[in-house]
Amino acid sequence: KKGSYDHFMQKEIHEQPHSLTMTMRGRLKNSGVILGGLKEHLKTIRRSRRVIFIGCGTSYNAALAARPLVEELTGIPVTMEVASDLLDRQGPIYREDTAVFVSQSGETADTLLALEYALENGALCVGVTNTVGSTLSRRTHCGIHINAGCEIGVASTKAYTSQIVVMAMMALAIGSDQLSTQTRRESIITGLSSLPSHASEVLKLDSDMKELASSLIDSESLLVFGRGYNYATALEGALKVKEVALMHSEGMLAGEMKHGPLALVDENLPIIVIATRDACFSKQKSVIQQLLSRKGRLIVMCSTGDISAVVPSGSCRTIQVPEVADCLQPVINIIPLQLLAYHLTVLRGFDVDQPRNLAKSVTTQ
């Protein structure tokens, strides 16, 4: 079943041009997106007081990546909830809320308990899952299947990128009644249709990421700094590294750098800074300058051909990725980090598909 690949995680990373195609198949039209599972509920969602995204681990991160676009295209405030934390706090949920539950397996205990809690409180409950017939898809009022195909590796990879795409399509569908954003929506739809080919392009970084991994093999820790659309990329890249490569790694909001993390910076600690083009680009450039002036050991992720605009020549390693629509950039940016985590794991001699102490689906609290 692994075909020519050594591990399922590797296969699933490389499958992303195809899984993304399957996620969008039949759903993208020039005029908008068609999401059969949501159609009947769009009016209710548009009237809701807020959207709450609820999930765990990678699924939470996918929702975080889509959050800015949902806010932009719908004008509805979006709050984020880690399922266990919502339950711990018994946070308020109202009838006027739309609660979106994101789960690859559709069987994660905390997410399902949060779903029961939201149902009891009268919210409209929407499911985003990869698993047809799962408890999540049966218990929600409506939803969208991500159609990424079966994911076997414990580390979620292709489900992550497909989840982001589904939530971007959801934002387009909810916001489709707004004339003022029509041009923006059209350009995002064009961007979505070119994502599979950009994913193929970025997968060519495989051997570069293997080389980068070999330079990090003995590091004790790896930080990833992102912001805006790519805060989620930082969290998700770090989650992949700690989960499979068993290396301490933290994703950090670059805007928080001076509020603590800066104290960690020295010549040894590797730091990945995501600086692809979006509204936060100039702020990220200044973060890079500040880290370089403290002799930080940087690896900068930027758009292809953008190195000279981002870093003084030869001052650090770079990961160059194809530029796509700003809100879709997280789909592309995570792929080299998935490859990096994969190669780090193999080089460090750990089990890629079955990391220590972890299960694919966390069905107990």
Contact positions vs ligand M6R (CB under 6 A): 56-59, 103-105, 108, 111, 154-156, 239, 243, 361-362
Supply the minimum distance, in Å, between the C-beta of residue 320 and ligand M6R: 25
Q: In what order do the strands lie in the sheet with 297-303?
A: 248-253, 221-226, 270-274, 297-303, 317-321
Supply the minimum distance, in Å, between the C-beta of residue 108 and ligand M6R: 3
Which C-beta is closer to ligand M6R: that of 105 or that of 303? 105
CA–CA separation, 103 and 253 (whole Å): 24
Contact 230, 41 (CB under 8 A): no
Which C-beta is closer to ligand M6R: that of 48 or that of 156? 156
Supply the minimum distance, in Å, between the C-beta of residue 178 and ligand M6R: 30
Which C-beta is closer to ligand M6R: that of 144 or that of 311? 144
Supply the minimum distance, in Å, between the C-beta of residue 349 and ligand M6R: 20
Supply the minimum distance, in Å, between the C-beta of residue 56 and ligand M6R: 4
Supply the minimum distance, in Å, between the C-beta of residue 364 and ligand M6R: 12
CA–CA separation, 217 and 229 (whole Å): 28
- Nearest to residue 102, comparing CAs of 14, 168, 152, 199? 168
Which C-beta is closer to ligand M6R: that of 48 or that of 104? 104
Supply the minimum distance, in Å, between the C-beta of residue 228 and ligand M6R: 22
Supply the minimum distance, in Å, between the C-beta of residue 102 and ligand M6R: 7
CA–CA separation, 136 and 351 (whole Å): 29
CA–CA separation, 49 and 59 (whole Å): 23
Tell how far CA 280 is from the center of its chain: 18
Contact 117, 86 (CB under 8 A): yes
CA–CA separation, 110 and 132 (whole Å): 19
Which C-beta is closer to ligand M6R: that of 109 or that of 262? 109
Quick count: other Cβ atoms within 10 Å of Cβ 69? 25
**Tokens at residue 138, please?**
């049966």
CA–CA separation, 251 and 257 (whole Å): 11
CA–CA separation, 155 and 353 (whole Å): 7
Supply the minimum distance, in Å, between the C-beta of residue 163 and ligand M6R: 8
Closest residue to ligand M6R in the complex (CB): 57
Which C-beta is closer to ligand M6R: that of 115 or that of 272? 115
CA–CA separation, 138 and 127 (whole Å): 9
Which C-beta is closer to ligand M6R: that of 226 or that of 322? 226
Which C-beta is closer to ligand M6R: that of 127 or that of 322? 127
Supply the minimum distance, in Å, between the C-beta of residue 105 and ligand M6R: 3
Which C-beta is closer to ligand M6R: that of 281 or that of 342? 342
**DSSP assignment, residue 111?**
H
The sign one gets for the Cα dihedral 278, 199, 350, 129 is: positive
Which C-beta is closer to ligand M6R: that of 56 or that of 316? 56
Kindly report the three-state secondary structure assignment for every residue of 165-217.
HHHHHHHHHHHHHCHHHHHHHHHHHHHHHHHHHHHHHHHCCHHHHHHHHHHHC
